[in-house]
Structure 1
Amino acid sequence: MNDASAAFTAAFGSEPTGRWAAPGRVNLIGEHTDYNDGFVLPFALPQRVVAAAALSDEPGWAVCSDFEPEPVAFTSTGLGAVEGWAAYVAGVVWALTDAGFDVPPARIALTSDVPVGAGVSSSAALESAVLTALADLGGLDLPVADRPALAQRAENVYVGAPTGIMDQSASIRCEEGRALFLDCRSLAVEQIPFDLAAAGLAILIINSNAPHQHVDGEYGARRKSCEEAARILGVPALRDVTPDALDEALGKLDDDVMRRRVRHIVTENQRVLDTVELLRAGRIRDIGPLMTASHASMRDDFEITVPEIDVAVEAALAAGAYGARMTGGGFGGCVLALIDAADADTTTAAVERAYAERSFTAPTAWMATPGPGATRLP
């Protein structure tokens, strides 16, 4: 990651006021439950987007990034015309303005080491870093608990990506050494202890490097199917279908695809609750089977995995992982494997061999520990 302060100086010829950072995230468990008013359990990655920023004497905003060193400038009258990566920045300005905030004119330089297209929410990290910087620079009266919804609105309405609230909540509200238990209906959060090192464990993140096909049409189709099922079942959201009532609910649905989508959401919500209970009790190893069951549900019922992802899960489990699952929206991205910390190299090697046998593009892997959410850097 290039130094954001140096990038700022190179682009704008002066020093930034400060630097603000926001992390990417992985979801330990709870996939596609967020837009069904359900439960999720993400944690923040060490990889972050850093925004070096300063107030501007000129009206409007100028931003440069690793993607484009030449600054992109826009004003409040031209907000609707911003495209590409800069749209995420313009979206944050728009969301703040639309919420009634007086957004300060600013110059921003962005650098990042969050993998793009890997399902670890690089876009939410960018939005969260920019939002945090603008809130501080402008002295905005914007409680931290209210910030994820504004960042989500930037992505949903301005950029046009139909994501749930989890990504921005994780990037803004996570704490070091903990997973964020988020109720996506009430937006209540609980910081769940997740001290992997103390248990001699690690989360190995395996980037499948498969062509990421998080196609809006596929994601949107599943969301629409869930919403239609909730309408047929007469509930506000699938979160309101309990496991005990699942069989009865499935009997009311004529479409087999819709039944499988519903089954995933209902069982996945319960897996999140079960995982939280185990972590509260300090039983980290015991969450492994829940992770693996979550993956099977995503593969068979929600149908959002790809061969590279499934092979990575199978190889990690065969190498001794306690559990493994895809994380993220699907159709590519990353796998999480819960392993003994000493087994990182052997697990990685097992996945690499399985990929080579199938002529897949080689995966990349790293160990992750839960990091902090958005913050101003020293």
Structure 2
Amino acid sequence: MTPTLAERSSGMHRTRRVGVGRAHAKVVLLGEHAVVYGAPALALPVPQLPVTATAGRSSRAADDPDGVTFTATGSAPPPVVGPAWDGLRRLAAEYRAATGVPQDLRLDVVLDGSIPAGRGLGSSAAHARAVVLALVDLFGGEVTANVVDGLVQAAETATHGRSSGVDAQAVGASAPLRFRDGRAQELSVGCDGLVVVADSGVVGRTKDAVELLAGVFRHRAGARESFVDRASRLTDEAGRALAAGAPEEFGARLTDYHGLLSSAGLSTTRIDTMVEAALTAGSLGAKLTGGGLGGCVIALTRPEHARQVVRRLHDSGAVRIWAVPLRGSGGHAC
């Protein structure tokens, strides 16, 4: 008879001393903000910004009332206080409830991450997914992808409030995704190219951006419908351009979407400067990515133009830059 998760957790069928889980960053190509109102979104995994979680049983009392002690390390560890940490604690509690892990079993979880927080790169979701997968690996048993996604989404809701679910799935994806109404499917990509991701060095203020946009919608008749309709059309056009192998058209939709976000007040002077620098250097399109009011810029670039695009982005204020193939799982830092 196959042991239950509770039996594994209690040591009756102890098969592992340590569990390991991994996830990675992501960028939203198009669809920010509108996706929570039912519009589609396109997302690209960024596998060269990984997160690894290691979970093991602890013989000492946990500092946290949920019985889990978290330790952060790596080149870009998450903050040990605040909403993201609260989200991880909630995740641990919900994992116990969903799988029957005994409440008196103490755990140590070490997070080794390279995703800068607050940049629209999915840091909180990636850490949450890595933790869930580490716990699954530690205790064994059958846990479906839907359960994993649901646990990550619960942590995201605790961290950000209303959340579309894009990050929860994209940080575990191996290919670009089209996301709508809680469902994701692999995006057809018929052309090559690099998506250059440039960190402005300014923490994005997603909550403030959401509230700002909601205020615009409240005080301007028809503003929400117009925003969502325009976002949906640009995202659908971009998806068709990718499938058809038309990078110039796809790039143009990126730039158009930046205009939509900027006109709603979600960009900043530095972000706009970086977008213009990327376009001037030969990018096919560029935009902010994520919630806005800081964070990162993405630029679609032909490989032969990447060096000059990277140089101009650095000159315009970027503090870190990565280049991600539009299709394929590789990538390198610039």
| C-alpha RMSD over aligned residues | 2.8
- Residue type of the partner of 2:238? T
Match of 2:24 in 1: 23
Q: CA–CA distance in 2 between the matches of 1:334 and 1:286? A: 22
Q: Does 2:213 correspond to 1:222?
A: yes
Query: 1:317: which partner in 2?
Result: 279
Matched, 1:351 2:313: yes
Aligned ranges 1:109-124 → 2 under 5 Å: 109-124=110-125
Indicate how the Cα distance of structure 1 residues 95 and 274 shifts in structure 2: closer, same or farther if over 3 A, else same: farther
Partners of 1:275 and 1:103 lie apart in 2 by 45
Residue 197 of structure 2 is matched in structure 1 by: 205
User: Aligned pairs, how many?
Assistant: 300
Shift of 1:215: 5.1
Residue 53 of structure 2 corresponds to residue 61 of structure 1: no
- Does the CA-based 8 Å contact 1:16-1:52 persist in structure 2? no
CA distance in 2, matches of 1:43, 1:212: 20
Report matched runs for 1:1-378 at 5 Å: 17-46=18-47, 47-56=49-58, 60-66=67-73, 86-97=85-96, 100-103=98-101, 105=105, 106-157=107-158, 159=159, 161-172=161-172, 174-175=173-174, 178-183=175-180, 185=181, 187-194=182-189, 199=192, 201-209=193-201, 211-214=202-205, 216-223=207-214, 255-256=219-220, 259-300=222-263, 302-353=264-315, 355=316, 361-369=317-325
Aligned residues of 1:30 and 1:269 also touching (Cα < 8 A): yes
> C-alpha separation between the residues in 1 aligned to 2:38 and 2:136?
28
- Counterpart CA distance in 2 for 1:371 and 1:135 is 27
**Contact 2:194-2:302 within 8 A present in 1 as well:** yes
Query: CA 1:299/1:36 → structure 2, altered by over 3 Å: closer, same or farther?
Result: same
**How much does 1:311 deviate?**
0.8
What is the rounded CA distance, in whole Å, between the counterparts of 2:208 and 2:280 in structure 1?
34
Structure 1 residues 323 and 103, CA, compared in 2 at 3 Å: closer, same or farther?
Answer: farther
Q: Kindly provide the CA deviation profile for residues 36-75 of structure 1, in whole angstroms up to 9, marking residues without a partner as x.
A: 12211111112111112224466822221128xxxxxxxx
In 2, Cα distance between the equivalents of 1:146 and 1:65? 25
Q: Aligned partners of 2:161 and 2:288: how far apart in 1?
A: 21
Alpha-carbon distance change, 83 to 268 in structure 1, aligned in 2, over 3 angstroms: closer
In structure 1, stretches of 5+ residues that fail to align are 1-14, 68-81, 229-254, 356-360, 373-378
Between the aligned partners of 1:151 and 1:368, the Cα distance in structure 2 is 24
Tell whether the 8 Å contact from 1:35 to 1:223 is kept in structure 2 after alignment: no
**SS state at 1:368 partner:** strand
Classify 1:195/1:45 alpha carbon distance in 2 versus 1 (closer, same or farther; 3 Å).
Answer: farther
Measure how far apart 1:362 and its partner are.
Answer: 4.6
Report if the CA contact (8 A) 2:21-2:129 is conserved: no
**Do 1:50 and 1:112's aligned partners in 2 also have CA atoms closer than 8 Å?**
yes
Preserved contact between residue 288 and residue 324 of structure 1 (Cα < 8 Å): yes
Q: TM-score, with normalisation over the residues of structure 2?
A: 0.80
Higher RCO structure, 1 or 2 (CA under 8 Å, sep 6+): 1
TM-score between the two structures when normalised by the length of structure 1: 0.71
2:257 is paired with a residue whose SS is helix
Superposed CA deviations along residues 283-323 of structure 1, whole A, max 9, x for unmatched, are 333201110100000001x2210011111111111111111
- AA matched with 2:112: T
Q: Which amino acid aligns with 1:165?
A: G
Q: CA deviation at 1:16?
A: 5.9
* Distance (whole Å) between structure 1 residues aligned to residue 290 and residue 213 of structure 2: 14
| Corresponding residue of 2:9 | none
SS at match of 2:99: coil
**Is the deviation greater in 313-322 or in 15-24?**
15-24
Give 1:261 deviation, angstroms: 4.1
Shift of 1:181: 0.8
Instruction: Name the SS of the counterpart of 2:246 in structure 1.
Output: coil
